[in-house]
Amino acid sequence: MADGITVAKFRDVAGGLQKGQFSVGEHVQIRHLSDLDPIYKALLDRPITVTMGLVAPDGTIGLTPMWFDYEGDKVLVNTASHRPKCGWIRKNGKLTILVVNPDNAYHWVQLKCSVEREEHEAAPGGERVTKQLDKIWTKYTGNPPPYGLRDPAIDEKRVLFICNVDRIATFGKP
């Protein structure tokens, strides 16, 4: 990320109608996610169910509601290894996350990401995958670890995709 992250700031209608509304008003560069405008950064920290978009094998876009987490400048996607989206992520290496404010659908942030690497719960060092899953379990449910939704019918193992943020789009105000 030598050049930083490009943020496309869309014009919104929070202040009323305006010329060029819903188009990109400006592009800015930030070095880190922590440099994101606080009204959008706050969305990343809330327990909001996000939508992840992936390219499916037939070329269509698959959308998945999911829990969201990040660490520093990396987006973390934790999924069960047997799910089809795991293969979709590996095949394309790109994904998009949309975080919409549940209190105002006209306030959102979109993160376009590329996979840097993956970590496997079943591999040496895999306890990091489990700890991250427990962290988001607590963030989203308020329950203490361990994560309580593992499929009891299989020996479910998790994969953690560590992703770079390539571009960001922002829209609206809280």
d(CA 171, CA 141): 27
For 54, the token pair is 């992936």
pLDDT tens, residue order, the chain (174 aa):
447 898 988 877 776 777 777 666 778 899 999 999 999 999 999 999 999 999 999 999 999 999 999 999 999 999 999 999 999 999 999 999 999 999 999 899 999 999 999 999 999 999 999 999 999 999 999 999 999 999 889 999 999 999 999 999 999 899
- Contact (Cβ atoms closer than 8 angstroms) between residue 31 and residue 14: no
d(CA 150, CA 148): 6
Delineate the domains of the chain, giving CATH numbers in brackets. 5-14+21-145+155-171 (2.30.110.10)
Q: Where are the alpha helices (DSSP H) in the chain?
A: 38-45, 84-92, 127-141
d(CA 8, CA 110): 10
d(CA 101, CA 46): 9
d(CA 94, CA 115): 6
Count of Cβ atoms closer than 10 Å to residue 159 Cβ: 22
Q: The pTM is what?
A: 0.90
